[in-house]
Amino acid sequence: MPLDHYMTMGNSGLCVSAFCLGGMTFGDAGFGTDAAASRRIMDHFIERGGNFIDTANQYGRGSSEEIIGEHLGSNPAKRDRLVIATKYSKNLHDKDPNGGGAGRKSITAACEASLRRLRTDYIDLYWQHYEDPFAPLEETMRALDDLVRSGKVRFLGFSDAFAWKVVKAQLTSLRHGWNPLIALQIEYSLLERTVEGELIPMALDMGLGVTPWSPLRGGMLSGKYGRDNMKAESTGRAGWIARDANERALCIVDSVRLVARKCGSTPARVALAWLRAQPGVTAPIIGARTIAQLDDNLGALDLVLAPDDMAELNRVSNPTLNFPADFLRVAGAASYGGMTVNGRNFGPDPVP
């Protein structure tokens, strides 16, 4: 599947490439690339057919947006053919209580600042980076709707929020006739599947396209790490790798490596191919520090895992979900025991 076989994002007409290029590594983030290398990576991604680039005001305290803006935003011929997404929420102004979060004052100021750094008149997809425990959702969603109506933003999404909060935001917008959310950005990989309990089913029901971040779990699923090596390449990655220094994670990495050898591919491609096959996933966000890394990730588009390989990866990475997820898996058989409905097979009735 070529990168330019596009997908519509959620319940919208916005067409995005099968992978999104993440801008968190653009600039000095302790594990990133300088401006020149970032430009080369962006150009290569676009040449391969990619049109979706994601960043945030938080990345490098605005430097990622500035690199993208200098290279793409200042070139209308390039910019208008791309889907550029960025995020608000991060406070870039010390001790200013209105400098971050999701209140109207913060959102408006953050959007204007991102537009300046990106050197563009509009943001294609504007994300709330993480939820605000204080701002009323009505205020947040009305402020975002005003940005869309003003032409400064095209579409809206939420990232890193509780499922119930996303649903409340979506229903608030629909009730008032405001522009709804079309996308959800969450961490999702073979090493982080707990989102399958609430967030993925919610996204499917609410018409949200899912763009997983850290699909290789900070590099843990790339093939660089495992039982023989758990030393991070840089101090910026140390914490990310340390969180998976446990037997469960190492067993998952072992299985990914085994499947990669079996099908003559790489661990990164196997992990990405598994993720792309999951319900609701529109465009995983891939980060790359080199062209070689980018090409390796894009190679996942040509990889279709065999059913037995998918089954093994699902088995070894099967997550422990919060109640009532596991209970409802069993309870469903009480209604449809021994039957197949919408392609889902139910076991025997547990209470005959």
Buried-state track 123-162, b at ≥16 Cβ within 10 A, e below 16: bbbbbbbbbbeebebeebbbbbbbbbeeebbbbbbbbbbe
Catalytic, 122? Answer no
Distances (CA, A) of 217 to 163, 222, 243, 291: 21, 8, 10, 19
Residue in 329, 273, 337 with CA at minimum distance from that of residue 305: 273
| Gap between the Cα atoms of 182 and 83, Å rounded | 14
Catalytic residue among 59, 88, 188, 225: 59
* Other CB atoms within 10 A of residue 242 CB: 12
Residue in 92, 135, 94 with CA at minimum distance from that of residue 111: 92
Task: Classify 229 as helix, strand or coil.
Answer: strand
Cα angle: 343, vertex 207, 345; to 5 degrees:
15
Say which residue the tokens 């400098």 belong to.
99
List the catalytic residues.
Answer: 59
